[in-house]
Amino acid sequence: MKQKLIRATELAEFVYCSKAWHLKYLDGAEVSPVARELQAEANAWHIEQGRSLARGDSYRWAAFAALMLAIILIVFCWLGWAK
């Protein structure tokens, strides 16, 4: 009996969803063009969400830096070092 070599990607697909693996490798089912289009749209949406979150993190760090600078300036003025 000839043994089939199992690729790491195939194993990962099985671990992620054994039903999808079964349909793809044992039943030979193909993904419909409509499902591929929906997945492409969903991937684009997720990429945009990731970019939006990254921008939010940048704004948060900028606000934190501005707040720290304001606190330092207030302390300098309070201690009389700004004269």
pLDDT reported for residue 56: 84
pLDDT-based confidence at residue 4 (cuts at 50, 70, 90): confident
Q: Which two tokens stand for residue 81?
A: 């070092």
Domain boundaries, the chain: 8-79
pLDDT value, residue 57: 83
pLDDT digit string, tens, across residues 25-80: 889 888 889 999 999 999 999 999 999 888 888 888 899 999 999 999 999 888 88
Intra-chain end-to-end CA distance of the chain, in Å: 90
**Do 8 and 15 meet the contact criterion of CB atoms below 8 Å apart?**
no
Residue 37: which H helix or E strand, with range? Answer: helix 33-79
Placement of tokens 């760090």 in the chain: 61
Model confidence band, residue 18 (pLDDT cutoffs 50, 70, 90): very high
